[in-house]
Structure 1
Amino acid sequence: MSVGINALLRQKPDRLIIEPTGLGHPKQVIKTLTSDQYDKYIDLRATIALVDPRNLSDERHLENKNFNDQLASAEVIIGNKVDQCTAEDIDVFNDWLTDQEPAKIFHKLVKNGELPLEVLDIERREAAQEPAKHGHHHDDHDHSDLEPVFELPPEKPYIRRENQGQGYFSCGWIIGEEHKFDFDQLFSLFSDLNAERVKAVVNTDKGCFAFNVVNRVVSVNQMSLEGYESRIEVIDSQLMPWQDLESILLKLCGLNEA
């Protein structure tokens, strides 16, 4: 996350909207964004959670720690898909809001994800208790001192990390930017891969691309992040043969398995 944020901040945007992975830990994301590393560059606003009110009656969601943590961390709650909800679903949503401590700053029921744009400017509750930050509205800062929290060791062409939790297994790779993937072969691999999610920002022979794969449906967007390592993450509810997948990935970028 830090690598992507740093690259975007160097372009001096007016606003960043960050949507973490569904397996992400919102408190850790907020901790990172409010750390000294970003103190001069980011004016963090209220955290927003988009929730389907029907899920508040589903024990599978109510017993899921990530689901509860994301709602607990959010200061703004948007109940989406209201056109598909029953009157009982709406009552459950309103009762849930009433029980929240501390109370949410703002909430609204919408359909089709029609987020009210004014919620993007709502200030964080914690911000009122923090010392005033200076300089984050200015355009004249040198962003060259923003360094990624995690880096590929200079002596290694790639690294791999595995994780598991909440009933899911994940494996991620960071591969040096000098190693280019064959775009067509990588697209075919992601299309055939039997995993619930694949997320990647990859340097290819056709440029840098972001891949987002859900149940073998591949979405691709060209990126302007050349000069950064390729990053690939695969998530599934079953433990996958990571070593076999790694061997294929290394071949697609011209690396021989170490």
Structure 2
Amino acid sequence: MVKNVPTNVITGALGVGKTTLIQSLLSNKPDGERWAVLVNEFGEVGIDGSMLSGGTVDGKEKSIFIKEVPGGCMCCTSGLPMQIALNLLLAQAKPHRLLIEPTGLGHPKEVLETLSQSHYKDVLNVQATLTLIDVRKLDDQKWRNHETFQAQMQIADTVVVTKSDLYTHDCMPTLETYMHEIGVSSTPVVHANCGKVDNRLLANASNFTLHLSDSEQHHHTNKLNSANTLIAPKEGALRIANQGEGYFSRGWLCAATYAFSYKQCVMLFKTYTAERLKAVIITDSGIFAFNVADGAFEERRLDEAEDSRIELISSSEDFANTFAEAIDSLIDEYTK
């Protein structure tokens, strides 16, 4: 049994840099500590776990443990998918700290509500919630008025401004106005430097208090089953789709026996200015993690991957289908 595990929720909208920030936090964790990460993704395939894996080794024991809950909001169906995954992760890792990354389309208040339930009272020590924001998104009224994105800001103990090195003008007045509009103007704001923040922020206290009445609590059905994670086929590829909260996902899980063309992958991912695209792909030039957010393309070499995975999230069903046709053509070429 584990007791009083320091626990942090790292939340924020699609593409704000949650995975990048968590990678930084993991790289700066104290030597000798085991850290665990529970990752929730809107898409069915689950890619963040592959991007975050590859932690160092303390003696014979891994120091970083990752578990994924793909397929939608993990707090749904009374929090059951989340609780199953969380209990398994705690039993396996017995961590010194737990980080939880809900999907950018998840319901952060309900995630914190689940963590605050009585059966976790002596198990988890819920500390600061960090909410990441790319202030440029506030120019889009659809994003600005999205209830889920507003809720992410409202439960923040610290607001973390990301990607400010890409801003063409001072966006802070825009952020200050927005925070005043949604009633969180007193929440501390820090800037992430190249996706990095001081790990000491995690140890701050959580100001979250349960205030939802039973009639206001969020319950809806969710088809995910955290006990049955998708496994790549030995040959060919699985194609999976999901939709909700006004967004559409298309995912592919490909056999590890195929090495895709690195040049073709890069060309394809740069051609489509996707709102959100993640991929971990075994190529003829090595294993790469690809990341596209609001048209900005990034890549990073990885040491290992069990299979190839691609996941697109878009607010346009037509765009999602068009992109899917292009990916299917690429996959079919290499899986004949």
Q: Give percent identity, aligned residues only.
A: 23
Secondary structure of the 2:274 match is coil
Return the letter of the residue paired with 1:71. M
Q: Which of 44, 58, 63 is matched with 2:145 structurally?
A: 63
Distance of 2:51 and 2:270 partners within structure 1 = 28
Return closer, same or farther for 1:9/1:194 CA change in 2, 3 Å cut-off. Answer: closer
In the other structure, the counterpart of 1:174 is 253
| Alpha-carbon spacing, 1:10–1:230, altered in 2? closer, same or farther (3 Å) | farther
What is the rounded CA distance, in whole Å, between the counterparts of 2:235 and 2:207 in structure 1? 43
For 1:79-98, what aligned pairs fall within 5 Å after superposition?
Answer: 84-86=171-173, 90=176, 93=179, 96-97=182-183
Aligned-partner Cα distance in 2 for 1:206–1:54: 35
In 1, Cα distance between equivalents of 2:279 and 2:151: 25
Q: 1:37 to 1:75 in 2, by over 3 A?
A: farther
Opposite residue 322 of structure 2, the aligned amino acid is: P
- Deviation sequence 1:114-157 (CA, Å, 0-9, x none): 7444212336679xxxxxxxxxxxxxxxxxxxx98513265653
Deviation at 1:79, TM superposition (A): 5.9
Q: 1:137-188 CA distances to partner (integer Å, 9 max, x unpaired)? A: xxxxxxxxxx985132656532111122333322010101111111111111
SS at match of 1:163: strand
Q: Letter of the aligned partner of 1:84 in structure 2?
A: C
**5+ residue gaps, structure 2:** 1-38, 40-45, 99-126, 209-225
Aligned residue number for residue 331 of structure 2? 250
Q: What is the 5 A alignment of 1:1-258?
A: 1=39, 3-4=49-50, 7-8=53-54, 11=57, 12-13=62-63, 25=73, 27=75, 31=82, 35-40=86-91, 41=93, 42=95, 43-44=97-98, 46-51=128-133, 60-72=142-154, 74-78=156-160, 84-86=171-173, 90=176, 93=179, 96-97=182-183, 107-111=187-191, 115-122=197-204, 149-152=228-231, 154=233, 157-214=236-293, 216-226=295-305, 228-238=306-316, 239=318, 240-241=321-322, 244-252=325-333, 254-256=334-336
Pairwise CA RMSD: 4.4
Is the Cα–Cα contact under 8 Å of residues 26 and 73 in structure 1 kept in the other structure? no
Greater length-normalized contact order (CA 8 Å, ≥ 6 residues apart): 2
Q: Equivalent residue of 2:249, what SS? A: strand
Distance 1:83 1:107 in 2: 19
- Number of residue equivalences: 224
Other structure's SS at 1:187 match: helix
Judge conservation of contact 2:239–2:250 (CA < 8 Å) in 1.
yes
The higher radius of gyration belongs to 1
More strand by share: 2
- Aligned-pair CA distance for 1:59: 5.2
Query: Unaligned regions of 5+ residues in structure 1, if any?
Result: 100-105, 127-146
How big is the shift at 1:39? 0.7
Aligned partner letter, 1:118? R
Does the C-alpha gap of structure 1 residues 241 and 94 become closer, same or farther in structure 2, counting only changes over 3 Å? closer
Give the alignment's TM-score, normalised by structure 1. Answer: 0.64
Moved more, 163-172 or 61-70: 61-70
| CA shift in 2, pair 1:207/1:76, >3 Å | same
